[in-house]
C-alpha cells in the first residue's frame, strides 16, 4: 500500500521504506520545477504524448525501471496508452497496457466508493458512528478517546485515531482482511477522532469489513459486482482471482518473490492499464453527470462530495483530503490523487475532474515510483495547480514582527518546558537566563518570543547566536489536551511533536535492554524486523531503538499505562503505533504493531 507522510522539522528525517506502511508523498518542489522544464506545458495532445514518451524513455534507463505502463486521458477519452520495458525480464515478456499490476493503496479509492454506494442505497450514513453498523468494533478507550466518537467518515478520511497498521499475519497465507478488526480491538486508539490525520491501512480494512457486513457480500465480491462489472473491467481482481499476464516484481535490479497481501480492502486490487483507464473514465463521467447504460457507478452528487474537501477542520493534518482521495485545490482548480505501493509494485492515479482528464502510471519496479509520481505532478501546472496546493493552511495563525514583543515571565516560560517528541527524535525545552532554550539532535537554540506563543529560534554556535531565518517561527499550541510544538516557514507548517508525560522509572526500568525478534516476520516488501532496545534517555524520555535489516530507528514512546505505550509522531515513519509489553515464565516481550521481540527474564541490560 502506499506510503503517505510528509513531516519535516529542523533536522533531516530518514524514512524507512515499508511495503504495507504509511502513505508517503515523496514530493519536492525542485522535482516539480525540473518537471515543468521537461514538459514545458505542451499545448496540444500530440506534444503532450511526445514529451511523455521522452520522459519515460529517459527515466526507464536512468532509474533502473524494469517495466512500466502509462495512460493519458483528455476530454474523457484515452489519448495514449503504452508499456515500456518488461513485465517479465527473465522471459523477455514486454510490459504492455494489458500487463496486470497490483495498484496497492489506490484500492482505498474503491473501498471508499463502495461505502458511498452503500450510503446512496440508504444502508448507512457515513456521518454516523462506525459502531452503529459494526458493533463488534471496540478498540481500547482512553479519557476523551472512545470508539463511539469514530464516524464512518473519519475512517474514510484517516482521522479516526485507529493506528496505521497491524503487521501480524499480514500476508494472505497467514491471515485475512476481516482479522484486522480483532487486532485493532486489542489496541488503544491513538488520538481523539477528528484531531489528527493519521494514515491508516488498518482503518480501511475495517471499512472492507463494514462493506461485507452491510452488503452481505464479501468485500472482493462486492467490488467485482458493483465496480468492475459495471465498467467492464474484465482484467481486474484480487490475488485469489488467478489473473493472467501479471507482472513480475523487481527491486535493486533483482527479481523479487511475490507475497500476497492480507489487507485486500486497503491494497489488494490488481488491474491492467486498459481497465484502470476505464475506472478513471467512470469516475470522471460520474463527476460530469454522464450516465452510460450499464456503466453506472454512483450519482453525481455522491461523486462530487467524494471530491470535496472533507478535513478542513482537522487541526493536525498534512494533506487536503476528500473521501478516499488526496486533493490539490486552489481558488480556481482541483485535482484528486492517490498512490499505491505493494510488494514493490507502484501505481499513481491523478484526476482532473473539472477538466475531464487523468494520468495513470503503473510499474513493477520499486525504483519506478519516483518517476511515476513526478510524471503526474509535472501535469499539475497544465491544469492550474502546483504541489503546495496539496497542503492545508497553517493552524498557528499569523506571523508577528519581533520588534514589539514583550518579555515573558518565568511562569509563562515554564509552561512551555518539557520534551516534545516526534517519530524519530525529540526536542527538549528548558529555561536559561530568562529565555527558552531548545536542544535536539540538530543543535542548541535560544528561542526569543515575538508573541506569547510564537518564537524565533537562534542557533547557538560557540559564544554566538544566529537566527535561522527571519520567516522561520516556532509555535506552541494546545490542541484537545495536548501541548504541541510547530515549526512554521511562511505558509508551510510542520508538527514537531507534543509534550510527553514524565516516565515512572520504577515500572519501566526492569524492561530496559535488548530484545530479539521472534515469531511472525514480515514477508512483503523490504522491511524485515531484527531487534528492539529499550532505554531511558538522559532527558527522561523512554526510547525504543527499532532495527530492521536495513535501518535503525530511534523512536520516543508516550506511556499510556504500565503495559502499553504509543510510538510518537504523526504521519511520519513509525509514528502512531501501539507498543505493548508483557511477560511469561521465561521471557519479557515487546509487541510492536503485531511484530514480537523477546529477551530472557533477568537478563542484564
Largest CA distance in the chain: 76
Least confident of 247-251, 287-291, 524-528: 524-528
**Residue closest to 558 by CA, chosen among 573, 571, 572, 570:** 570
Q: What is the pLDDT of residues 412-443, one digit of tens each?
A: 999 999 999 999 999 999 999 999 999 988 88
Residue 550, Cβ density class (10 Å: 0-12 exposed, 13-18 middle, ≥19 buried): exposed
Distance CA 269, CA 256 (A): 19
Q: What is the pLDDT of residues 214-237, one digit of tens each?
A: 999 999 999 999 999 999 999 999
Domain 505-600 of CATH type 2.40.128: yes
Distance CA 273, CA 344 (A): 18
Q: How confident is the model at residue 522 (pLDDT cuts 50, 70, 90)?
A: confident
Instruction: Give the cell for residue 93.
Output: 515478456
Instruction: Give the cell for residue 395.
Output: 493552524
Is this structure's pTM higher than 0.75?
yes
3-class DSSP state for residue 44?
Answer: coil
**Residue closest to 20 by CA, chosen among 598, 596, 597, 593:** 593
Q: In what order do the strands lie in the sheet with 357-363?
A: 93-94, 77-88, 67-74, 357-363, 345-352, 334-342, 326-329
User: CB of 579 within 8 A of CB of 591?
Assistant: yes
47 vs 464: which has the higher pLDDT: 47
pLDDT at residue 16, as a whole number: 31
**H or E element at residue 47:** helix 45-62
Residue in the structure block whose three cell numbers are 533483482: 254
Q: CA angle, corner 194, sides to 176 and 573, nearest 5?
A: 60
Residue in the structure block whose three cell numbers are 481558488: 331
pLDDT at residue 290, as a whole number: 87
pLDDT at residue 1, as a whole number: 41
**Residue closest to 202 by CA, chosen among 219, 216, 182:** 182
Non-local CB neighbours of 494 within 8 Å, separated by 6+ positions: 7, 8, 9, 486, 487, 488
Instruction: Give the cell for residue 451.
Output: 508573541
DSSP letter at 17 equals: P
Instruction: Give the cell for residue 284.
Output: 470522471
Distance CA 593, CA 188 (A): 11
Least confident of 133-137, 350-354, 362-366, 574-578: 574-578
Q: What is the pLDDT of residues 55-111, one digit of tens each?
A: 999 999 999 999 999 999 999 999 999 999 999 999 999 999 999 999 999 999 999
Phi, psi of 179 (to 5 degrees): -70, -25
Number of residues in the chain = 605
User: CB of 558 within 8 A of CB of 547?
Assistant: no
Non-local CB neighbours of 174 within 8 Å, separated by 6+ positions: 262, 520
CATH class of 29-390: alpha beta
- Percentage of the residues of the chain whose pLDDT score is greater than 90: 79
Amino acid at each position: 500500500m502506499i506510503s503517505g507522510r510528509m513531516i519535516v522539522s529542523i533536522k533531516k528525517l530518514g524514512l524507512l521504506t515499508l511495503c504495507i506502511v504509511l502513505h508517503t508523498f515523496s514530493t519536492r518542489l525542485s522535482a516539480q520545477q525540473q518537471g515543468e522544464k521537461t514538459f514545458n506545458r505542451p499545448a496540444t495532445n500530440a506534444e503532450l504524448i511526445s514529451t511523455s514518451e521522452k520522459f519515460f524513455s529517459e527515466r526507464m534507463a536512468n532509474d533502473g525501471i524494469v517495466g512500466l505502463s502509462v495512460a493519458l486521458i483528455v476530454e474523457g477519452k484515452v489519448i495514449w496508452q503504452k508499456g515500456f520495458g518488461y513485465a517479465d525480464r527473465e522471459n523477455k515478456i514486454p510490459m504492455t497496457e494489458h500487463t496486470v499490476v497490483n495498484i496497492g493503496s489506490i484500492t482505498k479509492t474503491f473501498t471508499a466508493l463502495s461505502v458511498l454506494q452503500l450510503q446512496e442505497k440508504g444502508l448507512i450514513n457515513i456521518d454516523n458512528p462506525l459502531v452503529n453498523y459494526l458493533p463488534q468494533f471496540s478498540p481500547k478507550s482512553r479519557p476523551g478517546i472512545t470508539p463511539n466518537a469514530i464516524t464512518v467518515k473519519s475512517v474514510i478520511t484517516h482521522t479516526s485515531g485507529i493506528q496505521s497498521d497491524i503487521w501480524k499475519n499480514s500476508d494472505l497465507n497467514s491471515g485475512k482482511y476481516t482479522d484486522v478488526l480483532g487486532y485493532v480491538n486489542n489496541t488503544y486508539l491513538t488520538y481523539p477522532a477528528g484531531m489528527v490525520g493519521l494514515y491508516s491501512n488498518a482503518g480501511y480494512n475495517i471499512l472492507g469489513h463494514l462493506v461485507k457486513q452491510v452488503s452481505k457480500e464479501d468485500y472482493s465480491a462486492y467490488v467485482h459486482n458493483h465496480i468492475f462489472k459495471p465498467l467492464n473491467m474484465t482484467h481486474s481482481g484480487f490475488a485469489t482471482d488467478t489473473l493472467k499476464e501479471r507482472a513480475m516484481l523487481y527491486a535493486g535490479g533483482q527479481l523479487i518473490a511475490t507475497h500476497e497481501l492480507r489487507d485486500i480492502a486497503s491494497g489488494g486490487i490488481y488491474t491492467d492499464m486498459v481497465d484502470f483507464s476505464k475506472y478513471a473514465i467512470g469516475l470522471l463521467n460520474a463527476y460530469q453527470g454522464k450516465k452510460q447504460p450499464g456503466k453506472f457507478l454512483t450519482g453525481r452528487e455522491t461523486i462530487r462530495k467524494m471530491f470535496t474537501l472533507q478535513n478542513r477542520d482537522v487541526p493536525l493534518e498534512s494533506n487536503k483530503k476528500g473521501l478516499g482521495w488526496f486533493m490539490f485545490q486552489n481558488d480556481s482548480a482541483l485535482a484528486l490523487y492517490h498512490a499505491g505501493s505493494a510488494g514493490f509494485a507502484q501505481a499513481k492515479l491523478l484526476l482532473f475532474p473539472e477538466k475531464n482528464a487523468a494520468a495513470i502510471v503503473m510499474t513493477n519496479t520499486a525504483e519506478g515510483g519516483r518517476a511515476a509520481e513526478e510524471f503526474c505532478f509535472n501535469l499539475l501546472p497544465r491544469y492550474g495547480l502546483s504541489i503546495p496546493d496539496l497542503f492545508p493552511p497553517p493552524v498557528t495563525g499569523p506571523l508577528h514582527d519581533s520588534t514589539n514583543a514583550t518579555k515573558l515571565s518565568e511562569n509563562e516560560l515554564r509552561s512551555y518546558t518539557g520534551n516534545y517528541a516526534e517519530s524519530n527524535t525529540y526536542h527538549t525545552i528548558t529555561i536559561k537566563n530568562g529565555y527558552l532554550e531548545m536542544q535536539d539532535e540538530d543543535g542548541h537554540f535560544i528561542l526569543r518570543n515575538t508573541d506569547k506563543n510564537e518564537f524565533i529560534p537562534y542557533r547557538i554556535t560557540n559564544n554566538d547566536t544566529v537566527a535561522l531565518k527571519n520567516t522561520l517561527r516556532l509555535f506552541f499550541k494546545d490542541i484537545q489536551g495536548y501541548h504541541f510544538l510547530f515549526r512554521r516557514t511562511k505558509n508551510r507548517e510542520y508538527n514537531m511533536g507534543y509534550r510527553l508525560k514524565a516516565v515512572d522509572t520504577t515500572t519501566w526500568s526492569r524492561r530496559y535492554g535488548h530484545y530479539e525478534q521472534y515469531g511472525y516476520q514480515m514477508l512483503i516488501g523490504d522491511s524485515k524486523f531484527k531487534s528492539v532496545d529499550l532505554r531511558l534517555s538522559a532527558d527522561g524520555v523512554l526510547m525504543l531503538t527499532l532495527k530492521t535489516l536495513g535501518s535503525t530507528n530511534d523512536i520516543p514512546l508516550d506511556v499510556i499505562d504500565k503495559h502499553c505505550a504509543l510510538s510518537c509522531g504523526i504521519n511520519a515513519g513509525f509514528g502512531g503505533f501501539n507498543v505493548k509489553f508483557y511477560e511469561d515464565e521465561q521471557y519479557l516481550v515487546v509487541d510492536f504493531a503485531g511484530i514480537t521481540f523477546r529477551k530472557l527474564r533477568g537478563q542484564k541490560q
